[in-house]
Amino acid sequence: MLEQLKAILSKVNKSIDMNSVTEDTRLIEDLGLDSLSIMLFAMEIEAAFDFRFTEPVKFVTVGDVCRFLEARKA
């Protein structure tokens, strides 16, 4: 899951060093994602995993996104 999210993040912001991204990496503080980048990230996740966010979800770290997506698969 982490590798899939890294691929999505690289589409959203090509300047992110993917080697430094871990599950503990914070989306805003560490990766510098702004509101537009967060929206693009969400849209790319929806396209990659074939679903739509139906309500706001508060993701702080990459791991939060991983756990959310893993729970959806279960």
pTM: 0.92
- Kindly state which CATH superfamily the domain 2-73 is placed in: ACP-like (1.10.1200.10)
DSSP letters spanning 21-72: --TT-BTTTTT---HHHHHHHHHHHHHHHT----S-----BHHHHHHHHHHH
- 28-59 pLDDT, tens digit per residue, is 999 999 999 999 999 999 999 999 999 999 99
| pLDDT exceeds cutoff 90 at 73 | no
The domain locations on the chain are: 2-73
